[in-house]
Structure 1
Amino acid sequence: MKLKEKFKNLFPDMKKGIERFPVTVIFGLILFIVTIFSIEGSYYKLETWIEYLIIAIPFSATVELIREKYFENKNRKFFRIINFFGTILFIFVSKMFFKNYFAGEVINVTAAVLIFYVLFYLIPIVYRNENREKYLQSVVGNQIITIGFALVLFLGFSAIIGTVDVLLVNLLHTLYIHAFVFSSAVFGVIFFVSRLKEKDESLENYALPKIVEILICYILIPLILIYTAILYLYFAKIIFTLKMPKGVVSHLVLWYTAFSLFIIIMVTPITFKNKFAKFYKKFFPMISVPLILLALFSINERIFQYGITENRYLVVILVIWLLFNMILYIVKNDVKWVLISYIFAILIAVFSPFNLVTVSINSQNKRLERLLIKNGIIQNGKITNKNDKISIKSKNEIMSVIDYFYNNTSELKWKKIKILGKTYEKPEDFMKVIGANDFWRSYESIDNQEKGVISEISLKMNDGIKMTEAKGYDYLIYDFSVSYLLDANETKEFDNENYKVVLKNKNLMIKNIQKNIEVLNIDLNKIATEVYLKIKEKAKKQNQSYVELPENDLTYLSETKNSKYKIVFSDIHFSEEDKIDGLNINIYFSEK
């Protein structure tokens, strides 16, 4: 083949692509124009339409493929007018429903893009009796080539913009964004549809490039098989040790299995001539089934412990989808059902009454109710605030569920706690009813607590200071900052459910609120001065503005009638006159 012909095959007749998919190209142009106006004109309302215009591209292209396949002899212009206005109507209806219905706007839009993207693959192969995988190969290959060309075009535009900006006139940096959108939404779309195979175009002579065939058969497949062997060794370890699989196993298994399924589809056309590819396609589905079941068991353990969340729901859907397709490839080799089942899985996960958000909300509400009953906060069908005997672990679990409900509330307005038939609009409303507060929240994971490796349990104060349990002492107040207060007669105080801490007139006082006993009352300025005098000469010898010293040099130990305590100075700031003007300390104490 001559160089000219090779270039022609690589760089297609873009006019032909525009004529074949005019509506799709128009929506690519509209997306480009809307992006410019939203950035340069500060039309912020247009930004919300950009993601919906992204849906319009695969949607309109899929409709055009349906026309080619089933309505080829009908009025082409009339059908394309219907396609254009039908796509616009679909966008407006989607905008209306996606924000307040189903699984949340971002998830809904993403799911819609994926569905029409997969439909674009599916429509041409539905009634193809052969060469289905070859057609998919050609589309995937065209996508890779399109991304490469679009990237080169964008880098070229960026180089031109940068050169003009540096050498001639200052240009807006937003031009780089415009270049990117043009390269992908305009050039990329036209280039891609121009390379698509025609409806009845023969694929008999189509073949993967030799280099790609070598990459898949002799690099990727061996790596997949080695990875599979490692997972089976882990499987054997679980059986012999009778130790439950880690939650991460499901992710390790599933993403590699999904990629392996893609490789099965890609190697199908060459199995007649490549024995290694044939072996892989025949036996890998059988080998993968036990591993997928292991992943299902692993995620089921997490769900049993902590309930369903959106991520766990998606993992379960992916497990079921992969299990279905691997069994399908064992029984019958038909790639169209891979795509159909994928669309069906998205419809269930996002747009059904049993979507990932609805199921997760119901699961977490039930989990929260079980926790409250278990810890005596719900008794006889009513909520009480009797929580004196609740363990730290249980408090952490309750707060983790509360945090789940009230994160991203701006997007998912219906994601709220509903206990015993009552809905709580704000987290503080529910926390007040059960007598909870921020001190229930832990910054350590529950998993770590179960392993018994916790040395401290953080309890965040309103002003950022934290009081924790610490080894050797009952409590640790850490990162207590004192800046310019030692001579200012100002007051600094905070409290939690047990203790009140006050710094006033250089005195630091800690009081047990429940017992109404003063646990500690010390002159912080005096102690700081004593520590400073001890380290003064050592610090000056280093002749630096910032001096690092061992912790022992910055530690003060003592006892009072009601407590023993230790103060560790992490920072002491002083002026040239040796006047202390700022401290940062950790205070350890225990009651006697």
Structure 2
Amino acid sequence: MKWIKKLKDRLTGLTDAIARFPLTTAFLLAAAVINAYDINAEKEILTKYLLTFLVGAFLSFVFQVVYERFFSKFSTRLILMGLVALLTAGYYLIISQAPKLSMEIEIRTAVALFALLIAFIWVPVIKSDISFNKSFMIAFKSLFNSLFFSGVIFAGISIILQAINQLIFTIDYTAFPHTANIVFVLFAPMYFLSLIPVYPGAADDITKKEEAIHQKEGITKAAYCPKFLEILISYILIPLIAVFTLILVIYIIKNVGGEFWKDNLLEPMLVSYAITVILVYILASEIENKFAIFFRKIFPKLLVPIVLFQITSSILSLEETGVTHTRYYVILFGIYAAAAGSLLSFISVRKNGIIAAMLIVFAAVSIVPPVDAFTISRTSQINTLQTVLEKNNMLENNKIKPNASISEKDKKSITNAVYYLTMMQYAKKIEWLPDDFEAYKDFYNTFGFYEYQEPVKSNQPVFLSLEQSAPINIKGYDTFVQIDFYMNDKNKDESICEIEKDGKKYNLLRDNNKDQIILRLVGENEQELISFKTQEIYDKFYNYNSQMKGVITAEEATFTKENNRAKMAIVVQNVNIEKFNDQQYNNALVFVFVEIK
């Protein structure tokens, strides 16, 4: 039966892949074991080991195709495997020095793994009769098939486990992540590798002619573009890209004199556009129809000016924001896309491997000091912060002097730089920042103002709460009470509580005016001692962005009023501000502390 033969072929392919990539198999098996341990522990205890084994797996399958393409001796293969083991151990020694995995380590590793994947596709066809386009198509189809079958297998096993759990006996919930671990960490990569054929290499000189012909036929078959994919690329993706390109060109022409240079939201859109154009170009390189030929002739030339405009826009924005690793990658990829578009406009389709080599070089540049994304972004952000502080006389003798009177632009620059340096774990390396500096807690005390908040859209609601376990200073106050403020309260001069001190009685009143609530403390003769207008709360928090910041510190939440008769402190527990065009509906829950002098 055909399905039995296909199943047998797949199993044979898997066993062949294990024999072909033994070190990769060992690394993936180790990664699955480490991941299983973390699943059972319900903590990410061994993440560094997991990352190390994944790096080893990628290195080992790249070095295997290097061996197949350029070498034939078994001793050379052993040497290359030893080199992989050394590089993997070196990677672990580097990341083990960090207390924990940082965003920098994760991004560097992700970029390195991406470069290794491109190398895995490109190396087997270096100076070969087989084009990079065929190798890329094989890898693309293999990746899709491995993910599809892995997803089906995982879904099927999950359904079976769920049925057993509901109908027969209870299954531990970790069974599902363990299943995902085996399927996606172990099976999926090995199935992907089993679909990658052995390309012609140095061993061809000793290979029989019949075997060589059979090998090339297998590669041609594996690189065949299915009719479904051809239709998808030629008659759906290419027309959609053409329409989107037309929209981009019209937008650039209309806004080139102004908005385009300030619209940073276009950056991810244009990066995605450039990736799509290059990817579709490579996939369409083996398709011979009018749509594909037209796309290959025109779109690389259109890509270059569009990307150049975006590079210029991104560079101009650096003056205000400084370099971050994301902006670095946007600009670097823009340069790559412009160079790739230029090359694709003139070189033959068979030489597309050049852009793969370029991509590997660009990726290496972005992670290898001293011109990598993180060294440059760290230096840029520290210099930006230092420049703004010195401009406002806030940095003297390597110490920061708080200053609340600086411009909103400078507050924004300081806030962005400080939070970026904190996020990337660079703040502790700055000698003029306190050793125990934590941006979330120490920002106001260090700089003299609260973090800059981008104005929100007029109708965006604000929901803020006092951070949990925030200490509140109650020293010196006679009493406190919790109060709700609602704009639809109708009562006037409502008594909240009565306070007695030194034989005298005082009343804390809530006066509900038309537009706001006023807290008033009055004596026995109805003489007002002190008052507080609750609109101050809503005015302060009106422009806060709840999506960026959902909690407020005790300092931000505290409002104080004092005169020679009394002192009142209002500490906001939570505040809600609903905005509907020109109307505003507010409510808040607060603590009110009272001291009578």
In the TM superposition, residue 269 of structure 1 has moved relative to its aligned partner by: 1.0
The 2-side partners of 1:146 and 1:459 are apart by 46
Distance 2:411 2:171 in 1: 56
**Contact between 2:14 and 2:194, CA under 8 Å: does it hold in 1?**
yes
Report what 1:535 is aligned to. none
2:534 equivalent among 543, 567, 591: 567
Partner in structure 2 of residue 329 of structure 1: 344
Contact persistence 1:490–1:505 (CA under 8 A): no
Check the 8 A contact 1:98/1:109 in 2, yes or no.
no
Give the aligned partner of residue 236 of structure 1: 253
Aligned residue for 1:347?
Answer: 364
One-letter amino acid of the counterpart of residue 117, structure 1? L
The answer to whether the Cα contact below 8 Å between 2:267 and 2:330 also exists between their aligned partners in 1 is: yes
The structure-2 alpha-carbon separation of the partners of 1:462 and 1:417, relative to structure 1 and needing over 3 Å to count, comes to: farther
User: Shift in Å at residue 154 of structure 1?
Assistant: 1.2
> For residues 448-487 of structure 1, what are the structure 2 equivalents within 5 Å?
448=455
1:400 aligns to what? 416
Deviations 1:438-457 (A, max 9, x none): 63313x22xx49x9x89999
Structure 1 window deviating more from structure 2 (94-103 vs 289-298): it is 94-103
1:584 partner SS: strand
Q: Alpha-carbon deviation of 1:318?
A: 1.0
Q: CA deviation at 1:277?
A: 0.6
Higher deviation after alignment, 290-299 or 89-98? 89-98
Alignment map for 1:433-448 (pairs within 5 Å): 436-437=446-447, 439-442=449-452, 444-445=453-454, 448=455
Q: Which residue of 2 aligns with 1:93?
A: 90
**In structure 2, what residue type is equivalent to 1:211?**
F
Residue 287 (1) aligns with residue 302 (2): yes
One-letter amino acid of the counterpart of residue 84, structure 2: T
Residues 1:390 and 2:406 are matched in the alignment: yes
Q: Distance in 2 between matches of 1:401 and 1:239?
A: 29
Asked whether the equivalents of residues 497 and 507 of structure 2 are also in contact (C-alpha less than 8 Å), the reply is no
Relative to structure 1, the CA distance from residue 268 to residue 464 in structure 2 (aligned partners, 3 Å threshold; closer, same or farther) is same
Verify the 8 A CA contact 2:112 2:364 in the aligned structure 1.
no
Deviation at 1:142, TM superposition (A): 1.1
Give, in whole Å, the separation in 1 of the partners of 2:529 and 2:361. Answer: 68
1:53-111 deviation line (CA, Å, top 9, x unaligned): 11122211111112212222x12xx5555455543332221011135589832123223
Matching of residue 70 in structure 1 with residue 85 in structure 2: no
Q: Which residue of 2 aligns with 1:307?
A: 322
SS in 2 for 1:166: helix
> Is 1:425–2:387 an aligned residue pair?
no
Once residues 462 and 2 of structure 1 are traced to their aligned partners in structure 2, the CA distance between those partners, rounded to angstroms, is 64
Residue 173 (structure 2) pairs with residue 173 (structure 1): yes
1:34-49 alignment, distance < 5 Å: 34-40=34-40, 45-49=45-49
> SS where residue 170 of structure 2 aligns?
coil
The alpha carbon displacement at 1:378 in A equals: 4.5
SS in 2 for 1:331: coil
3-state SS in 1 of match to 2:589: strand
Q: Does residue 527 of structure 1 match 2:509?
A: yes
Between the aligned partners of 1:336 and 1:219, the Cα distance in structure 2 is 26
Residue identity matched to 2:509: I
Q: 1:382, CA displacement in angstroms?
A: 7.2
1:202-221 map, 5 Å: 202=216, 203-204=219-220, 206-221=223-238
Letter paired with 2:310: A
Deviations 1:185-226 (A, max 9, x none): 332233222221221332445421001100001100111111
> For the structure 1 residues 34 and 71, does the alpha-carbon distance in structure 2 shift closer, same or farther, using more than 3 Å as the test?
same
Q: Who is 1:26 aligned against?
A: 26
Q: Distance in 2 between matches of 1:50 and 1:7?
A: 31
Structure 1, 162-171 or 60-69: larger mean CA deviation: 162-171
Q: Aligned partners of 1:43 and 1:305: how far apart in 2?
A: 40
Per the alignment, residue 495 of structure 1 pairs with none
Secondary structure of the corresponding residue to residue 225 of structure 2? coil
- Specify the SS of the correspondent of 1:207: coil
Match of 2:517 in 1: 555
Counterpart in the other structure of 2:579: none
1:584 aligns with 2:586: no
Are residues 224 and 7 of structure 1, via their aligned partners in 2, closer, same or farther at CA, if it must alter by over 3 Å?
A: farther
> What does 1:144-223 correspond to in 2, within 5 Å?
144-200=144-200, 201-202=215-216, 203-204=219-220, 206-223=223-240
Aligned-residue offset at 1:367:
1.1
Match of 1:60 in 2: 60
Output the CA distance in 1 between the equivalents of 2:507 and 2:50: 60
Match of 1:577 in 2: none
Give the direction of change, closer, same or farther, for the CA distance of 1:219–1:458 in structure 2 (3 Å limit): closer
3-state SS of paired residue (2:449): helix
Q: How many residues align?
A: 496
> Cα gap change, 1:343/1:105 in structure 2, threshold over 3 Å: closer, same or farther?
same
Structure 1 residues 167 and 459 mapped into 2: Cα distance closer, same or farther (>3 Å)?
closer
**Is the deviation greater in 202-211 or in 559-568?**
559-568
Q: Is the 8 A contact 2:260 2:313 kept in 1?
A: no
Shift of 1:4: 7.5
Distance 1:524 1:124 in 2: 88
2:17–2:194 CA contact under 8 A, matched in 1: yes
Distance 1:279 1:389, change over 3 A: same
CA distance in 1, matches of 2:90, 2:379: 27
User: Higher mean Cα deviation, 555-564 or 260-269?
Assistant: 555-564
**Whole-angstrom CA distance in 2 between matches of 1:316 and 1:187:** 37
Find the counterpart in structure 2 of residue 119 from structure 1. Answer: 119
Shift of 1:397: 2.8
Q: State the alpha-carbon separation in 2 of the partners of residues 106 and 160 from structure 1.
A: 35
* Rounded Cα–Cα distance in structure 2 between residues aligned with 1:43 and 1:586: 38
- The amino acid that maps onto 1:207 is Y
How far 1:303 moved relative to its partner? 0.9
Structure 2 residue matching 1:527: 3-state secondary structure: strand
Equivalent of 1:320 in 335, 348, 357: 335
Provide the rounded CA distance (Å) in 2 between the counterparts of 1:97 and 1:4. Answer: 48
User: Residue 216 of structure 1 contacts residue 263 of structure 1 at CA under 8 Å; is this kept in 2?
Assistant: yes
Q: Which moved more, 1:96-105 or 1:366-375?
A: 96-105
Tell me how far apart the structure 2 counterparts of residues 195 and 458 of structure 1 sit (CA, whole Å).
52
Normalising by structure 1, what TM-score? 0.72
Q: CA RMSD in A?
A: 4.4
Q: Deviations over 1:485-526 (max 9, x none)?
A: xx983499xxxxxxxxxxx9978xxxxxxxxxxxxxxx9954
Matches within 5 A, 1:3-14: 13-14=13-14
**1:247 counterpart SS class:** coil
What letter is aligned with 1:425?
A: D
| Secondary structure of the structure 2 residue equivalent to 1:90 | helix
For residue 485 of structure 2, what is the aligned residue in structure 1?
Answer: none
List runs of 5+ in structure 2 lacking aligned partners: 201-214, 483-495, 500-504, 522-526, 539-571, 574-586, 593-597
Contact 1:103 1:355 in 2 (8 A): no
Aligned CA distance change for structure 1 residues 383 and 562 (closer, same or farther; 3 Å): farther
